[in-house]
Structure 1
Amino acid sequence: MDIVVIGGGAAGFFGAITSAEANPQAKVLLLEKTTKLLSKVRVSGGGRCNVTHHCFVPTVFAQFYPRGAKQLKEAFKVFGARETVDWFARRGVKLKAEADGRMFPVTDSSETIVDCLLQQARKAGVQIRTGAAVESIKPVQEAGQTYFILQLGSGESIKADKVLVSTGGNPKSQGYDWLRQLGHTIQEPVPSLFTFNVPSSPLKDLQGVAVPHARVRIAGQKLEYEGPLLITHWGYSGPAVLKLSAWGARHFYEQQYTFTALIQWLPEHTEERLREELQQFRQAHPKKNVATNPLFGLPQRLWQGLTRLAEVPEQVRWAELPAKSTNKLVEALLRMPVAVNGKTTFKEEFVTCGGVDLMEVNMKTMESRVQPGLYFAGEVLDVDGITGGFNFQAAWTTGYLAGIAMA
């Protein structure tokens, strides 16, 4: 074969289609070790497929990657979110943007994306084989030319001029051993995009309560993130936590997922402003019950939970609220400490940070600097984005650049 792509996910398909379209003479083969193609595309975004994010400025787009931001900046200028939208539109798939910037097919079905990729691969003449696990890649030099021998689990071997590795992230370090054997350095894989387990959470009985805007900070660290926050029966979730988990992935791993997070339920408020507003309310409504009249647009159950935490007596009115309780309420609203002990994988988000060291890859072509003729795309690289369509965009971009370079 001229080109063999290992891995039938988003990056692999994009690389295979791009190279076959750019060079119709090339014999392109895609190998997938399981029986399912594009399985992550199918389940992403709750079965709707969050294709990319509505941000057409490459330098801004790159800021959403805890790992790989610097290297992706230039790559997005060649093939970014705008090019992705156009690519699918030209092939009959229209994307729409939601209020939070996430982009989905107008059909709200990931099958639209899966069908499009399968159809384009067939149309471009890509050969596809499932149940074909590659166990090793051996570079061979002959008469000044390099080619590769791919050893399959079935015992079969395939000869290829160029190889694209797009096997996705692997949670286990030994999953990268076959790439280490080719001379590549691997950044140790650790989980990214997870929720916080708080077994001793004082608000555990409020599961399902969400606020549209909160700030979560890690005590003693510069790590913080703002966004929607959700209380769950195991702790805390929602974009604020998921995105923070991506930025702090290595730190949290080193801490063995045991640390203190501080929740600010009112991120717009300074302590001075908060005390002022509480005092104004107290003067305007001295007879109102503190616990049963939520302030600042906070959900009723959350407000009651926070007043309980601040040890505000249930029947007390604003006029009778002791200074000590006011101080505790301010603390609960601005710096509520939660003892995180463990993590939970978030639904269909299974992103790993770590992978092939980017210093060993030419990010213009995705070709290995260690082994010419070998290319990488997608999560096998030490690149990961926060939730919101960023990981798929990295897959389309790196797959496209590899595809063009191989063709």
Structure 2
Amino acid sequence: MSFTLARFTLARSAVRHSRVRSEAAAPAKNNGLLISTPKQKKFTSTAIPTAQNKASEELLVVVGGGAAGVYGAIRAKTLAPNLNVVIIEKGRPLSKVKISGGGRCNVTNGHCVDTMVLAENYPRGHRELKGAFFNTHGPADTMSWFADQGVELKTEDDGRVFPVSNSSSTIIDCLMSELTRLGVSLQTGKAVVTASSTDGGKFLLGVENRTFSCPEYVEADYLLIASGNSKQGYSLASQLGHSIVDPVPSLFTFKIEDPQLRDLSGITFPKVKATLKIENARRNIPQLTQACWNLILDFAPDVHIEDLKSIVTQHKNKFAKHKLSNSYPSEFGLVKRFWIYLLGRQDLHGDTLWASISKNSLISLAHMLKNCNFYVTGKSQYKDEFVTAGGVPLSEVSPSLSPSPFLPFFFTFIGSVILCLAFVKISLNTMESKIQSRLFFAGEVLNVDGITGGFNFQNAWSGGYIAGTSIDGPDEEAVGDVGRPN
């Protein structure tokens, strides 16, 4: 099969995961939340929330300490300071933020200003996201929020946005600091394994600790499931009445036995045609785990092979006295590291002058640019998938309502009606479940996936922001904002 990628990235086959330490904002206190174990049948206090409970306080439990969960928790706590907000994460918080973009963290994409164009970068979800989703909180809002927190960002030529520090730790430190400042409790090493609704409209959650399997039970007023592609989130959604689109890998890493590729981590290409030839594949093996793969990359898909030969030959004539490693055709949009890699595959030394290159070597280089072969020994395990398609269908939540083509007509002749319709559009933009009230979803747990380039993180920021905004905390004046001034 053959397909064209908007961007192709060479990444390390193995990435070290740095340990992220999280601490509660304040020592845990007895706040009288209802907790029980199946054997005791007695309610006891829990250390999950860190703030002193008051009669007016309510509890929001966020399942998942990734980008969507953390951002949603920050937004909810910012608008409702008296709302108890607890994030429960079974692993390391913000682990995908840590490894994204080769460890630099591709925060968002800065080239898609038009939200209609932006939505087209989501193979699953583009129709639903064309409504108010990104209008509520888009890439510009995300960049503004991080800038307000003192994080300097830069937009590279291909639109990808990174912190100026080129370190994902900058983004992680920013988010963790906000959690601490606001008093959001982050509980790691725990997992929400069961969820049911009570007669009083709350959620009874079974929480397991890593050290013992007997769950404790917590009553929450609001529940935000932002567990990424974890089976945990799908299970909780099912328990609360939602259907699940079977999850499949959408963005993952190939395993290629070529040690030299490690030095090319983070390199991107503006346009590449990839052809995957599969050998020894059986029709009844859908996951291709027993197949041999041959990945063929064309780094100049819009240029004919004969034109490539001509470009390389003209470059030789023009830069005959230059070294191969220091001079190469700019038309290909390649970086020096990758050009040197190609030379090595052709057994050409970088210190060799262009004048010394034979005609056959020039032809061979041109063919390498059009047909660069990589033998794939497998793919990453499911638990290591960067992005997964599938999950809770968007039809079962309220992400947005696309504008009707009849709105201009109503605006002209029935002004009061258009005001009513506009209100409906905004009120549906909540990320709340259509099946269970006070249940919200954000991020990859939904059947949404984006192409590489910062789009998946933007889905997380936008969904978390909208969910956090929609969660009604205790009655009070909203203070502050996580995105931009109201």
Paired with 1:262 and 1:390, the residues of 2 have a C-alpha distance of: 26
Q: Structure 1: any 5+ residue segments left out of the alignment?
A: 222-251, 286-293, 309-314
| Partner residue in 2 for 1:376 | 441
Equivalents in 2 of 1:174, 1:128: separation in Å? 18
1:34 aligns with 2:34: no
Q: Distance in 2 between matches of 1:209 and 1:20?
A: 42
Aligned pair in 2 of structure 1 residues 333, 307: CA closer, same or farther (>3 Å)? farther
**Which residue is equivalent to 1:385?**
450
Change (3 A) 1:339 1:398: same
Question: Which of residues 191, 207, 216 in structure 2 aligns to 1:152?
Answer: 207
Specify the SS of the correspondent of 1:368: coil
Name 1:226's counterpart in structure 2: none
Task: Give distance in 2, aligned partners of 1:260 and 1:316.
Answer: 29
> TM-score scaled to structure 2, two decimals?
0.60
Out of 185-194 and 131-140, give the one that drifted further.
185-194
Give the Cα separation in 1 of the matches to 2:309 and 2:386: 42
Whether the aligned pair in 2 keeps the contact of 1:190 and 1:253 (CA below 8 Å) is no
Match of 2:460 in 1: 395
Q: Which amino acid aligns with 2:134?
A: F
What displacement does 1:8 show? 1.7
Of residues 223, 227, 238, the one that matches 1:167 is 227
CA distance in 2, matches of 1:11, 1:19: 12
**AA in 2 matched with 1:29:** V
Code of the residue aligned with 2:215 in structure 1: it is: G
Q: Which residue of 1 aligns with 2:178?
A: 120
Give the 3 Å change call, closer, same or farther, for CA 303–49 of structure 1 in structure 2. Answer: closer
Partner of 2:37: none
- Give 2:169's match in structure 1, choosing from 101, 111, 116: 111
Q: 1:257-406 maps to which residues of 2 (within 5 A)? A: 258=292, 261-271=295-305, 273-274=307-308, 299=339, 302=342, 305=345, 318=359, 334-335=370-371, 340=376, 342-344=378-380, 350-363=386-399, 364-406=429-471
2:144 is aligned, of 75, 86, 90, to 86
- Rounded Cα–Cα distance in structure 2 between residues aligned with 1:193 and 1:68: 15
Equivalent pair of 2:315/2:328 in contact (CA under 8 Å): no
Give the counterpart letter for 2:300 in structure 1. L
Out of 70, 89, 93, which is 2:127 matched to? 70
Q: Quick one: distance in 2 between partners of 1:116 and 1:71? A: 30
The SS at the match of 2:187 is strand
The aligned residue for residue 62 of structure 2 is: 5
345 and 94 in structure 1: CA distance in 2 versus 1, 3 angstrom threshold: farther
Distance verdict in 2 for CA 1:404–1:271, change over 3 Å: same
**Could you say what secondary structure the match of 1:401 adopts?**
helix
Alpha-carbon separation, structure 2, partners of 1:384 and 1:89: 26
Q: Deviations over 1:251-287 (max 9, x none)?
A: x9655565554432432322564577689999x89xx
Moved more, 390-399 or 176-185: 176-185
CA 1:159/1:262 → structure 2, altered by over 3 Å: closer, same or farther?
same
Q: Which residue of 1 aligns with 2:246?
A: 188
Structure 1 residues 338 and 30, CA, compared in 2 at 3 Å: closer, same or farther?
Answer: same
Task: Provide closer, same or farther for how the CA distance between residues 258 and 59 of structure 1 changes in structure 2, counting only shifts above 3 A.
Answer: farther
Given that 1:295 and 1:303 are in contact with CA atoms closer than 8 Å, whether structure 2 keeps it comes out as no
How far 1:188 sits from its partner (Å)?
Answer: 2.0
Q: Secondary structure at the match of 1:42?
A: helix
Question: Contact between 1:44 and 1:349, CA under 8 Å: does it hold in 2?
Answer: no
Where 2:87 maps in the other structure, the secondary structure is: strand
2:197 and 2:126 mapped to 1: Cα distance?
A: 31
Distance 2:392 2:274 in 1: 30
- The alpha-carbon distance between structure 1 residues 208 and 2, as it changes in their structure 2 partners (threshold 3 A), is closer
Deviations, residues 284-338 of structure 1 (Å, cap 9, x unaligned): 89xxxxxxxx985784763685699xxxxxx9964xx7xxx99999766545666
DSSP 3-state at the match of 2:452: coil
- Asked if the contact 2:122–2:450 (Cα under 8 Å) also holds between the matched residues in 1, the reply is yes
SS in 1 for 2:190: coil
What percent identity do the matched residue pairs reach?
40
Relative to structure 1, the CA distance from residue 326 to residue 316 in structure 2 (aligned partners, 3 Å threshold; closer, same or farther) is closer
Residues 218 and 259 in structure 1, CA contact (< 8 A), matched pair in contact too: no
Q: CA deviation at 1:112?
A: 3.0
1:182 CA displacement: 1.9
8 Å Cα contact 2:233/2:445 also seen in 1: no
Partner in structure 2 of residue 238 of structure 1: none
Give RMSD over aligned pairs: 4.1
Aligned residues: 351
Whole-angstrom CA distance in 2 between matches of 1:68 and 1:258: 32
| CA distance in 2: counterparts of 1:120 and 1:280, whole angstroms | 56
Pairwise CA distance, 1:195 = 3.6
Q: Distance in 2 between matches of 1:64 and 1:137?
A: 33
Higher normalized strand content (fraction of residues): 1
Distance 1:162 1:206, change over 3 A: closer
Shift of 1:405: 0.9
User: Aligned partners of 2:217, 2:460: CA distance in 1, in Å?
Assistant: 27
The gaps in structure 2 that reach 5 residues or longer are 1-57, 209-213, 279-284, 319-326, 349-355, 400-428, 473-486
- Please state if 1:53 is matched with 2:109: yes
- Name the SS for the 1:156 alignment partner: strand
| CA–CA distance in structure 2, aligned partners of residues 85 and 102 of structure 1 | 12
Are 1:367 and 1:375, in contact at CA under 8 Å, matched by a contact in 2? yes
- SS of residue in 1 equivalent to 2:72: helix
Question: Which whole-Å deviations, capped at 9, do the CAs of 1:132-183 have from their partners, x for residues lacking one?
Answer: 32111111234xxx2111111153222122210111212xx57733322222
In the alignment, the residues of structure 1 paired with residue 104 and residue 328 of structure 2 have an alpha-carbon distance, to the nearest angstrom, of 36
Q: Distance in 2 between matches of 1:262 and 1:397?
A: 36
TM-score (norm 1): 0.70
Is contact 2:313–2:362 with CA below 8 Å preserved after alignment? no
